[in-house]
Amino acid sequence: SGAALAVAAGALIGVPAAQPALAAPGAPGAPRYSAGAAGVGDPYFPDQGNGGFDVQHYDIAFAYDPATRHMDAVTTITAVATQDLDQFNLDFRGPEISELKVDKHPAAFARDGQELIVTPRPKLKSGQVFTVTVKYAGTPPVITDPDGSLEGWVPTDDGAFVAGEPQGAPAWFPGSDHPTDKATFTFHATVPEGITAVGNGSLVSQTTENGRTTFVWDSAEPMATYLATVTIGNFTVTESATPSGIPIYTAVDPRLVTQSANAVSKIPDIIEYFSSVFGPYPFSSTGAIIDRAPNVGYALETQTKPIFSSSPSVGTMAHELAHQWYGDSVTPTKWSDIWLNEGFATYATWLWTEHTGGATAQQTFNNSSNYGRAATSSFWQTVLADPGSVDMFGSVPYNRGAMTLHALRGKIGDTAFFKLIKDWAAENRHGNTDTAAFIRSAEKASGMDLTAFFDVWAFQKGKPASW
């Protein structure tokens, strides 16, 4: 395969693409073919995403055997070209590719790090809808984050824990791995009978044949790639619904059922409470995946079904469910605005705690993890709205983020604040946005100039003394 890839790569390098003889070059309406950009230019992860097209849908079909860790997969991407393309990239860190087609035509391809470089022939015109079908097989990799955490395809003793924030999705499917390119997803996962494969969205079918079960999951609302999962293992499955009728699917490692029972039992109440504060739940199903994965050690807000690597506390359950509004539906345009995810989800847990008779949000604001930290603490030396890729999941986006929201609430008053966070969820539903837009919305909701407020809380280092 190395030789075949080298040949494919050679064909791409330094050879200007021939123009088709459809119109004189430069004539009005003549296609102007060029290569799509290799990334969307996110400063934290410059290779993420791709230029020249938008993904509409992923169809990811695979068989996986936990015993051998072998995957056989075919991913079909439906995309629309946003420029005339003679070459484009996908992000992919998965195992060996045996075949790649653009529409019905086999296409040359090369791999370079996480870039999968594709040469479609015929070339693609701007506005054209096209499919890319990638066939691959082998063991998908575990990816290590800038902060040292494991993500991607993480084998467990009975399957795999699958999580992709911020850069694990290309471990198991090719695509455009940046939060700004949301798409719908369908998964077809075939696993040994008795094992469950749990994906985002709704279970369409579950069929067993010849000792293997195929689970088909459909994620009808748009999703960022980092929120995709098909987690595999022995699971105790429970299906129910919230009081307002949202289906709940929970898959819990049998070894964690007892310890997780309390947090799982709170899902309906949490969804109902957050719906009352943040507005309608943004997806057509909810649930949770609780999968023993000691080497992972974190939870993630995988869309519709957050995933936990150990039995969660109620607070962690609330945090991950709050992300369904803030993170999954309303998603940052760039990773440096991660506080829009983590600060909101953290503040949501403060509200939940107060709602259920625990500490008030004001008391949590004041405690020693938050404003009670000494001004000399290094905690105050990370900038909220640009923490860096190593500290994006450190305490600052979470705690300083939640403090910023609580301080804002104090500044603009409860009425304006709660209208703001509801409108924020509604206006940016299933979209992408940033800190500057949040400031504009906060100023609109309050009628106040909040430049100095956000300067102190979001853009400067140091413990805010007054705001």
Which amino acid, one-letter code, is at 109? F
Please select the residue that binds Zn ion; options are 223, 271, 345, 442, rule is CB under 5 A: 345
> Minimum CB separation from ligand ARG for residue 17, in Å?
38
> Minimum CB separation from Zn ion for residue 396, in Å?
13
For residues 73 and 314, which CB has a smaller minimum distance to Zn ion in the complex? 314
Task: Return residues touching ligand ARG (CB under 6 A).
Answer: 145, 147, 149, 151, 165, 298-301, 319-320, 323, 342, 393
> Minimum CB separation from Zn ion for residue 84, in Å?
40
Residue 40, phi-psi category: left (phi > 0), alpha (psi -120 to 50), beta (remainder): alpha
What would the DSSP string read from start to end of 49-83? S-SSEEEEEEEEEEEEETTTTEEEEEEEEEEEESS
- From the list 342, 337, 464, 451, the residue with the least C-alpha distance to 407 is 464
For residues 120 and 179, which CB has a smaller minimum distance to ligand ARG in the complex? 179
Element (H, E) at 112: strand 108-112
Q: Which does 400 bind (CB under 5 to 8 A by kind): ligand ARG, Zn ion, none?
A: none
Q: Which does 71 bind (CB under 5 to 8 A by kind): Zn ion, ligand ARG, none?
A: none
Beta strand ranges found along 196-353 (DSSP E) = 196-199, 202-209, 212-223, 230-233, 236-241, 247-252, 286-290, 299-300, 307-308, 330-332
For residues 185 and 298, which CB has a smaller minimum distance to ligand ARG in the complex? 298
Structure tokens belonging to residue 67: 């015993």
> Minimum CB separation from ligand ARG for residue 438, in Å?
18
Q: Which does 443 bind (CB under 5 to 8 A by kind): ligand ARG, Zn ion, none?
A: none
For residues 86 and 165, which CB has a smaller minimum distance to ligand ARG in the complex? 165
Q: Is 134 in the site for Zn ion (CB under 5 A)?
A: no
HSE of 118 in the Cβ direction (CA atoms, 13 Å)? 34
Judged by CB under 5 A, the chain residues 325 through 344 that form the site for Zn ion are 342
> Minimum CB separation from ligand ARG for residue 313, in Å?
13
Q: Is 256 in the site for Zn ion (CB under 5 A)?
A: no
Q: How far apart are CA 279 and CA 203, in angstroms?
A: 25
Q: Is 154 in the site for Zn ion (CB under 5 A)?
A: no
Q: Which does 393 bind (CB under 5 to 8 A by kind): Zn ion, ligand ARG, none?
A: ligand ARG
Q: How far apart are CA 33 and CA 313, in angstroms?
A: 53
- From the list 190, 212, 226, 213, the residue with the least C-alpha distance to 58 is 226
Q: What is the DSSP letter of 27?
A: S
Q: How far apart are CA 337 and CA 420, in angstroms?
A: 18
Contact 300, 281 (CB under 8 A): no
> Minimum CB separation from Zn ion for residue 320, in Å?
7
- Give the residue nearest to Zn ion (CB): 345
> Minimum CB separation from ligand ARG for residue 328, in Å?
10
Contact 207, 190 (CB under 8 A): no
For residues 169 and 216, which CB has a smaller minimum distance to Zn ion in the complex? 169
For residues 134 and 345, which CB has a smaller minimum distance to Zn ion in the complex? 345
> Minimum CB separation from Zn ion for residue 51, in Å?
29
Residues of the shown chain interacting with Zn ion in the complex, contacts defined by CB under 5 A: 342, 345
